[in-house]
Chains A and B, each alone.
Chain A
């Protein structure tokens, strides 16, 4: 099988999802990564460590200047020319925009949100968690063209290969028509947060509407600092404007898979839990003994988060000294 991966660059660096996807792709067949962006060729080393033998690289800043269309243009043209068996794209913000255009351009259909992918007797089978991951649906694409699959971030763990060497770089320069340069990125604002990122932290400390007001979220951040954790939030909190969207965990936010996930004042709506159920240990603190989050928390405490958070921070501080 000829497996292609759209290895996305974000902020000049290879997105972590690219390494997750190539790791999975390795198990399915021969991997080619498509890398688009000013630093495209420079990614050969890192991709090589993850077992990629060959990359198609187009070094052009046009991919950083406009949304989706230039990348969709290049991928569409390449797929039409080379007809790989499968193209994997990560369900990131940009990945989704690119995939939606390819679905139409290639008239191929698409599987979205795949958490597992396999070929059975030459037939593609993907597993898609549906309805807040309460059921797992097996889906396929009944086509004989390149199969398009949008993969859920964190579905696969990135793993290096032993003795990986830099991938061979094939430079490409697919023409990008003026028409594809319409959605222009005028400004890129990074809302820096201290400590580890939500996706990478081994402890996530999340807060919900139960924290009552924006100021109380600061208490949560102090606890996060003590634990060297990342702070997360529910959509209710993000919509209320207490913290930026980059904190949101869940269906329309980030998927996290930390070792420990703390849920303070979070009810446990499925749109939230779908983003954190993969945590190894879940500790929930909620005033309401009937809150749905207690149905699957490993340690549940029926109590007041606003009292417990500062007290826990103090206790952890004491223990350090």
Chain B
């Protein structure tokens, strides 16, 4: 099976994200970047499927700045993915979800995948629009919010999370699948994997090499524009007390004061 995983480099999620006051984009310069933790689940799902279907290839695809190659190697190739594709190009900076889907779809097409895995949403932007966009461009079905995924007899079958439970959904390959954090427990990269990752091939593309003109991508092509931003109103802390055996009494008094009981 030819499996593609879309992975993104994001600012260290435990840090505080900031907006660059000039570009009005997420501040990426001088901030530690990692493979999106949400994408570790897609990588793991791909590796497990490749193990179950010998002869498979796992290709990880990313669009990002040149240094995203580090996230590709450390976060995905070191865990066992076979090859990488990085689309990097100054013209791509500031791409919106539409442009990102176009770029990724064009790169993925070169691989002729049976299965494309993405996270349900990225940790920094969390739009969730990219995977469905890729599916639309490549004319594939989208199996979204998978908390379980199996592939057999040329079909992908998922358990899809819903607000009130789950659905079982199936489609004939090729398909795009988005995975949630409950699908598996990602493995840690082994030392051997980290060493091997350094030598694994990573193909690099620019937007124009993929046949996308500069006015379709990046800041220039973006239809969604940030106008301005303001800090959100923050809630103030109320009364904090240490439980000296009166916690229940305190809660009950408080509930009575706000007329809940």
Query: Any chain B CB within 8 A of the CB of A129?
Result: yes
| Known contacts A11-B164, A103-B129; A260/B255 CB under 8 A | yes
Cβ contacts under 8 Å, B238 to chain A: 297-300
Q: Is the CB–CB distance between A67 and B142 below 8 Å?
A: yes
A-side interface size class: 35 or more
| B225, A296: Cβ atoms closer than 8 Å | no
Output the nearest chain A residue to B166 by Cβ-Cβ distance: A189
A67 touches B232 (CB 8 A): no
For A229, give the chain B residue with the smallest CB separation.
B260
B233's closest neighbor in chain A, by CB?
A: A136
The interface-forming segment of B45-53, B62-70, B79-87, B240-248 is B240-248
Nearest chain A residue, comparing its CB with the CB of B216: A107
Find the B residue at minimum CB distance from A309: B248
Q: Is A203 part of the contact surface with B, judged by Cβ < 8 Å?
A: yes
Indicate if the CB atoms of A185 and B167 lie closer than 8 Å. yes
4 A-B pairs besides A103-B132, A112-B97 with CB distance below 8 A are A183-B169, A183-B170, A189-B166, A298-B239
**A residues touching B (Cβ–Cβ < 8 Å)?**
10-11, 67-69, 72, 92-93, 96-97, 99-101, 103-105, 107-113, 125, 129-131, 133-143, 150, 179, 182-192, 203, 227, 235, 238-239, 241, 244-246, 251-252, 254, 259-260, 277, 281-283, 285, 289, 294-304, 307-308, 311-312, 315-316, 319
Enumerate chain B residues within 8 angstroms of A227, measured Cβ to Cβ: 260
- With a cutoff of 8 Å between Cβ atoms, the chain B residues found around residue A315 in the complex are 248, 252
Instruction: Name the prevailing secondary structure of the B interface residues.
Output: mixed
Do the beta carbons of A135 and B261 come within 8 Å of each other?
no
Could you say which of B135, B224, B237, B248 contacts A312, with CB atoms under 8 Å apart?
A: B248
- A-B Cβ contacts below 8 A, count: 256
Interface centre among B135, B223, B225, B239, by most A CB within 10 Å? B223
Which of A92, A96, A125, A184 makes the CB contact (< 8 A) with B132? A96
The reply on B136 being an interface residue by CB < 8 A is: yes
- Asked if A299 and B232 sit within 8 Å, CB to CB, the answer is no
Residues in chain B near residue A141, CB distance under 8 A: 223-225
Residue interface bits B167-209, CB-to-A below 8 A is 1, else 0: 1111110010000111000000000000000000000000000
Say yes or no: A129-B131 contact (C-beta < 8 A), given A139-B224, A298-B239: no
**A96 B240 Cβ-Cβ under 8 A:** no
B181 partner residues in chain A, CB cutoff 8 A: 235, 239, 252
Q: A100-B129, A103-B129, A308-B248 are in contact. Are A184 and B180 (CB under 8 A)?
A: no
Contact A135 B229 (CB under 8 A): yes
A277 touches B235 (CB 8 A): yes
Residue B214 CB within 8 A of the other chain: no
Q: Is the CB of A138 within 8 A of B229?
A: yes
CA distance A125 to B227 in the complex (A): 9
Contact across chains for A304 and B172 when beta carbons are under 8 A apart: no
Which B134-156 residues have a C-beta within 8 angstroms of A?
135-137, 139, 141-145, 147
